[in-house]
Amino acid sequence: MAKMEVKTSLLDNMIGVGDMVLLEPLNEDSFINNLKKRFDHNEVYTYIGSVVISINPYRPLPIYTPEKVEEYRNRNFYELSPHIFALSDEAYRSLRDQDKDQCILITGESGAGKTEASKLVMSYVAAVCGKGAEVNQVKEQLLQSNPVLEAFGNAKTVRNDNSSRFGKYMDIEFDFKGDPLGGVISNYLLEKSRVVKQPRGERNFHIFYQILSGASEDFLCKLKLEQDFSRYNYLGLDSAKVNGVDDAANFRTVRNAMQIVGFMDHETQSVFEVVAAVLKLGNIEFKPESRVNGLDESKIKDKNELKEICELTGIDQSVLERAFSFRTVEAKQEKVSTTLNVAQAYYARDALAKNLYSRLFSWLVTRINESIKAQTKVRKKVMGVLDIYGFEIFEDNSFEQFIINYCNEKLQQIFIELTLKEEQEEYIREGIEWTHIEYFNNAIICDLIENNQTGILAMLDEECLRPGTVTDDTFLEKLNQVCATHQHFESRMSKCSRFLNDTSLPHSCFRIQHYAGKVMYQVEGFVDKNNDLLYRDLSQAMWKANHSLIKALFPEGNPAKINLKRPPTAGSQFKASVATLMKNLQTKNPNYIRCIKPNDKKAAHIFNDALVCHQIRYLGLLENVRVRRAGYAFRQAYEPCLERYKMLCKQTWPHWRGPARAGVEVLFNELEIPEEEFSFGRSKIFIRNPRTLFKLEDLRKQRLEDLATLIEKIYRGWKCRTRFLLMKKSQIVIASWYRRYAQQKKYQKIKSSAIIVQSYIRGWKARKLLRELKHQKRCNEAATIIAAYWHGTQARRELRRLKEEARNKHAIAVIWAYWLGYKVRREYRKFFRANAGRKIYEFTLQRLMQKYFLEMKNKMPSLSPIDKNWPARPYLFLDSTHKELKRIFHLWRCKKYRDQFTDQQKLIYEEKLEASELFKDKKALYPASVGQPFQGAYLEISKNPKYKKLKDAVDEKIIIAEVVNKINRANGKATSRIFLLTKNNVLLADQKSGNIKSEVPLGDVTKVSMSSQNDGFFAVHLKEGSGAAGKGDFLLSSDHLIEMATKLYRTTLSQTKQKLNIEISDEFLVQFRQDKVCVKFIQGSQKNGNIPTCKRKNNRLLEVAVP
């Protein structure tokens, strides 16, 4: 990669120590200083063997680009700098190539970056796995499940603006090629108490703020909500707005993600209605009211909120109101109804809100699982990603922290077991003797919590189920009796006297010494939170809702399925979930990501040593390093080890010809490394102490400097020699070029001189020849001129003689003509006198007319009516006569031509004439139809036995029978129909069966519409209100449009005595049932050649593309 440093080992250019296993000396201070040094240089990832430590940088870093993904793809885990992509790639390749199920465990406290780490793992796997439409859809659904779960399960806390308030475990399923098939999500311990109450400076779950900020006014109106946060008691106002968070944009993202995941529109609407109902539950307030028997009863202050909730959920208002005021207790066959005071009513309201939201969240997870689950039933490979709370130690620790820390104890236990198991398996695989490793086993702490007889959870369940008065104090007393002697349990009220005077331990608390440190728990609220009771009246009220989703969330409310057995407690449910999770994790190859928060200010470039130290302790990172280093601190395959350190030995440098292991043995013997510091496995070299590795690195660094000096020396010598040889070669080239130039100049000079001498000689010869030619030419010209003058004299003499003779002959002719004229005038003067001029004019005109007609007789054109030839006019005064005679002749020959026609031919020509009047110069298709005879019966129904049924159904004479295409308005596609025109009706029949589909009287046809272009589409408009107009007009297409329209026009005129309106327009309306659709004709090239195509553009437009 250009302009990027390529690293081939974790140890190259290492800032601090990239793998904590190599840290020397190993203690808490050196551990923190190493993390800080790397954090200051933007190195937020560090290894502990195969465990990745991730420090939240609180700012974007350019280390997650597609280029980085390609850089870490298919690379060895220790080949590049520590990165979350390296662990993701190692897990993915192990799953794909070695067929090993994987799990990635991401732990850390709130704000440490667990959610972002899980997103990075999923995005990397999505980037490196296969491609394809189905694979991309699965990847998109898996990735888009995150925004939905974050909106409903994350909230802003004092430590994190996007804190996950639930534990999430996702199993991503792959096929044998490594392509994702689907996934399954499991959720653990949603912090549902946040729904009704949030600590100062924190918010409720994101979805409440997103829906109020991002939903439209109409949508909010449907949900009975307003945008003002202050209107809702369940929303804390001091942190309603978060800097850098756009709730409106996030709401749009969530809705889009729900659509991609596969939520239907009605499901999305139902989800938001439940969210709105939860919000409005917090606005219900109660007031005390005394009854006759002296007991206090609660009443709802303002019933408007209750009314709107009932409208949203479809619950009868009186049923829900009674459920908030009364509680029914069933015992065997008896039912006892008691009133609820104000405190109990508020408890019932909050319990309903918490249960409603918690069950909605569980339903969302189940619904997402339905969408993303693998559709095929083939064998699958699985990669699990666990994003769960880290160990929590607060000032006030309650039941939630107790459950979370119990889960982390189990995770620590499985981590130690699997890590040691992995170490032991590798030693056995490599043939190295396994030595027992001493470590703290936290099984005793897990037993303290989960033991079925004496465990804290078992005693808590027992106390919750015990009849009589049960309080948190009675639970603590029981703990003091049973656990007093346990070495990891501390209580001031226990029988153990060593804590009687411990003022740091209040009387209402107990303390457990976890693997990560001591945690003090306040016993207040343990019993109520473990019970997690919802009154049966509220469950039954929810089940009676007309809202399908809410009804599905409360199946126990069904009266037909009443179960008097107490529901399992929250602690027992979580214990079972953790047990299932542990069993699942033990079947997979584990990969660990430990997330650390550098400061509480959520600011970049700040590293709080005390805070980081606290997290290192409760994450047990030093313990992880010690377990890893208990055997051999570093191991590496022989080939890369030899490649890295071969320059330290003359025998292995620069190339080792034998096996890699033999080369490493020679190398270590040459360096005189003590034998107890390393061991040779089957494929790897194992180094016990990090100091040995660092010694090798120091020797390598020194040797690289020496090699660099040698390379530099050789390079300088090579560069000087190359420069000298280049200069020598340049001098030779320059000299040769100069000599060439000098010789060229000399040659050009000699050549120029020779050319000048040659030009002078050629000029002298040419001038001499020119003089000789000119003299010869002048001699020839003189003889020619003399001969010409002589011939001219002779010709002029002859001309004068001829002119004289001509004048004499002309004079005689003129005199003779005058004499004859005189004789004629003298002879005829006595006959004509004054009328002689007119008579001569008439005589002359008569002779001209006679001559004109005689010539016309011989020049007459043919008798064909289409022959436009006519003789030219001989005289101007005959112009009108000439034109009239042409017209009379044309009429006469047309009559002669018509007299030859039969009656059938006359009818055809009348139809052709009618078509000319209707379509000439209006329809582009008309010229092509002139030469085609109108046949009418194209199908020969009477002769074809296929149409016998149709022939029997039509008892009138068929004027035209043709196959047309009926256009479907829904999609623009054509269906073949038989078009029949009789004297009284228009019929459409099915082409295959011959069944009549439509029959329209000619009187109901009002208009025929068509385009002006070269297509066969036409619409038959029917009279509104007529029986035939029920299905609307007909839009048809025919190859004989001109003939069909002409015959329909003539038949309608004959029967109804009214002219049928023929509309020719490139855009007209067609009535389909109750809707009017515009048919628009456009010019365009066609994929199907010169065939017009019809396409549906929308509900109101059909577009016909005409070539």
Tokens of 1002: 């000619």
Neighbours of 515 (CB within 10 A): 22
Contact 472, 525 (CB under 8 A): yes
Alpha helices per DSSP H over 960-1030:
none
294 CA to centre of own chain: 67
* Residue 891, phi then psi, degrees to nearest 5: -65, -40
Q: CA-CA distances (angstroms) from residue 844 to 805, 826, 833, 856, 885?
A: 37, 21, 18, 18, 21
Mind giving me the DSSP string for 533-598? ---HHHHHHHHT-S-HHHHHH-GGG-GGG---SPPPPHHHHHHHHHHHHHHHHHTSEEEEEEEE--
Tokens of 1075: 């809707």
Residue type, 441: N
Alpha helices per DSSP H over 172-246:
206-214, 217-222
Contact 141, 372 (CB under 8 A): yes
Location of structure tokens 């079925």: 452
Alpha-carbon distance of 880 to 876, in angstroms, equals 9
- Residue 542 half-sphere exposure toward CB, CA atoms < 13 A: 27
Pairing of strands 296-300, 684-687: unpaired
Q: Under 8 Å CB-to-CB from 923, ≥6 apart: which residues? A: 1010, 1012, 1042, 1064
Contact 1029, 1004 (CB under 8 A): yes
Strand arrangement of the beta sheet that strand 1061-1064 belongs to: 996-1001, 985-990, 974-982, 958-967, 1034-1037, 1017-1022, 1005-1010, 1061-1064
Contact 84, 120 (CB under 8 A): yes
Alpha-carbon distance of 689 to 630, in angstroms, equals 10
3-state DSSP assignment of residue 494: coil
Residue type, 935: Q
* Residues making up the chain, counted from first to last: 1107
Contact 648, 703 (CB under 8 A): yes
Element (H, E) at 1107: none
Crossing angle between the packed helical segments 609-619 and 28-40, to the nearest 10 degrees? 120
Per 3-state DSSP, what percentage of the chain is helix, strand, and coil (rounded to 5)? 50, 15, 30
Neighbours of 233 (CB within 10 A): 15
What are 594's strand-pairing partners? 53, 107
Long-range CB contact pairs, 886-894, < 8 A, 24+: 889/860, 890/865, 893/863, 893/864, 893/865, 894/865
1044 CA to centre of own chain: 51
Contact 646, 73 (CB under 8 A): no
Residue type, 71: E
80 CA to centre of own chain: 33
Q: Under 8 Å CB-to-CB from 841, ≥6 apart: which residues? A: none
The catalytic site residues sit at 110-111, 115, 160, 163-164, 390, 392
Alpha-carbon distance of 434 to 417, in angstroms, equals 15
Pairing of strands 334-339, 326-331: antiparallel
SS (H, E, C) 967-1028: ECCCCCCEEEEEEEEECCEEEEEECCCCCEEEEEEHHHEEEEEECCCCCCEEEEEECCCCHH
What are 1098's strand-pairing partners? 1101
Alpha-carbon distance of 488 to 478, in angstroms, equals 16
